[in-house]
Amino acid sequence: MASLKTLAPHVRLSIRNPKSKNDSEFGRGIAELCLGVREHGSLNAAAKGMGMAYSKAWRIIRDTEEALGLQLLERDGAHGSTLTKQADALLDTYFTLSERLEAEAQQAYRQQL
């Protein structure tokens, strides 16, 4: 059996539009997909890197764009895709908040023991 001191909390952040009727949120999965687009310059390459079908990645992007009310990708046909300025800012904010919340959760957990 593990001791409580060997365990660690894990925080899952999601960003959503509270006015949206669509349940899609910007969470870890879509953040990783957007990070792949940033790194590879292509939604197709990002999807392949995650072991995901392009059609599923495209559906996730569309659903999230609709839910958030903002465009995430600039599509350039056969030349790939890039993140919009808003998506770049959202992605950076998401990872910054995730790291901060994870660190705070770790500290609070240790203080409770």
Work out the pLDDT band at 79, boundaries 50, 70, 90: confident
Q: How many CB atoms lie within 10 A of CB 16?
A: 15
**Residues 6 or more apart in contact with residue 69 via CB below 8 angstroms:** 17, 19, 20
> Alpha-carbon distance 3 to 43, whole Å?
42
Q: How many CB atoms lie within 10 A of CB 83?
A: 19
* C-beta of residue 90 within 8 angstroms of C-beta of residue 15: yes
Per-residue pLDDT reduced to its tens digit, 19-53:
999 889 999 999 999 999 999 999 999 999 999 99
pLDDT over 80 (residue 1): no
* pLDDT for the residue 14: 97
